[in-house]
Amino acid sequence: ARIVTVAAAQLGPIQKAENRASVVARMIRLMEEAKTKGANFIVYPEMALTTFFPRFYEEDRAKMDHWFEAAMPGPDTQPLFDKAKALGMAMSFGYAELTPDGHHFNTSILVDKTGAIIGKYRKTHLPGHVEFDPERTHQHLEKRYFEPGDTGFPVWRFLDGLVGMAICNDRRWPETYRVMGLQGVEMVVLGFNTPSVNSQRGAEGIEDRLFHHRLSCQAGAYQNATWVVAVAKAGSEDGNHLMGGTLIVDPNGKIVGELPHEEDGVLVHPCDLDETVFGKETIFDFKRHRRIEHYKLITER
């Protein structure tokens, strides 16, 4: 067995006025709880350090730069790295990244148990819109503030296995998992901020959204024989509600645990990476069974 004891560390809401230092203190408390429960890898949500700011329209994009991290670790996040190193805890979390040459990405990192950043992923599928949309009940301006990621979907040798990352909307796309699946991924970790109502379809509420979330994560896990760890930022951020649904899916596509609340909390599960082997060697042995001569259209359109 190759056990990774993972902690899916859900964050409750982060209000607009809450600063990074306060959020990092919450993340450290979750890390301590995860350690107590035997975890060696903790996964936090998308944009874990701030409120989900793409809900705010700002004409001048530069005025949003204060939501971005120009350094990682930076002064506010250094304590998180120090704590991870002290506890020997590997981690992954998302943040808004501002590069030295001025690019803006929605980013996640993999940090090993010594505190070294060994992997970086930049969100590929950016949902929402560029301009203010008066037709919507709320704005979702990721396409305004971020560029599509330039990393593709790498996997890394990590914790005795192959680990990859995705971010929120990426989890709804089969290509996300398949590109990692083709590299033998054994655990996909991802964070999300999902409003509990559809801004363009009021009738689609939280139960439908949780259904689509589970459906996507379970299908991705099963069809690629991989663990999927999906972590929410949840609850009401200044009156804007984000659904919970932090969960862990096994390589059979079954949910092995799901948090039943919308607060800060950890869901810990010992994931045996060897459980991916059966699926990868049988029904989803890609080398034997895929018929790529019929898949061309997928990369042409």
For ligand CDT, the closer of residues 110 and 197 by Cβ is: 197
Q: How far is the CB of 192 from ligand CDT (least distance, A)?
A: 5
For ligand CDT, the closer of residues 216 and 276 by Cβ is: 216
- The answer to whether residues 249 and 257 touch, using CB atoms and an 8 Å cutoff, is no
Beta strands in the chain (DSSP E): 3-10, 41-43, 90-98, 104-111, 117-122, 155-158, 161-167, 187-192, 227-232, 235-237, 240-242, 247-249, 255-258, 265-272
Q: How far is the CB of 109 from ligand CDT (least distance, A)?
A: 17
C-alpha closest to that of 195 among 170, 169, 218, 230: 169
50 forms part of the interface with ligand CDT (CB under 6 A): no
Q: How far is the CB of 244 from ligand CDT (least distance, A)?
A: 13
The whole-angstrom separation of Cα 21 and Cα 131 is: 31
The whole-angstrom separation of Cα 144 and Cα 59 is: 10
Q: Which of 105, 177, 192, 222 is close enough to bind ligand CDT by CB under 6 A? A: 192
Q: How far is the CB of 47 from ligand CDT (least distance, A)?
A: 8
Exactly one of 35, 83, 97, 168 is catalytic; which is it? 168
123 flagged as catalytic: yes
The whole-angstrom separation of Cα 61 and Cα 70 is: 16
Region binding ligand CDT by CB under 6 A among candidate stretches 27-35, 188-196, 250-258, 285-293: 188-196
- The answer to whether residues 232 and 246 touch, using CB atoms and an 8 Å cutoff, is yes
Question: ω before 154 within 30° of 0 (cis)?
Answer: no
**What angle do the packed helices 174-181 and 206-224 form, to 10 degrees?**
20
83 flagged as catalytic: no
Binding mask 152-171 for ligand CDT (x = CB under 6 A): ----------------xx--
Region binding ligand CDT by CB under 6 A among candidate stretches 9-17, 94-102, 148-156, 192-200: 192-200
Residues 116-145, interacting with ligand CDT (CB under 6 A): 127-128, 140
Exactly one of 123, 142, 217, 280 is catalytic; which is it? 123
C-alpha closest to that of 43 among 54, 56, 31: 31
55 forms part of the interface with ligand CDT (CB under 6 A): no
For ligand CDT, the closer of residues 40 and 139 by Cβ is: 139
Q: Which two tokens stand for residue 7?
A: 């902690």
At 48, the amino acid letter reads A
Pairing of strands 90-98, 41-43: parallel
For ligand CDT, the closer of residues 35 and 144 by Cβ is: 144
184 forms part of the interface with ligand CDT (CB under 6 A): no
The whole-angstrom separation of Cα 265 and Cα 49 is: 16
Q: How far is the CB of 292 from ligand CDT (least distance, A)?
A: 28
Number of Cβ within a 10 Å radius of residue 103: 12
For ligand CDT, the closer of residues 35 and 129 by Cβ is: 129
Q: Which of 40, 193, 226, 240 is close enough to bind ligand CDT by CB under 6 A? A: 193
172 forms part of the interface with ligand CDT (CB under 6 A): yes
Catalytic residue ranges: 46, 123, 168
Binding region for ligand CDT (CB under 6 A): 46, 127-128, 140, 168-169, 172, 192-194
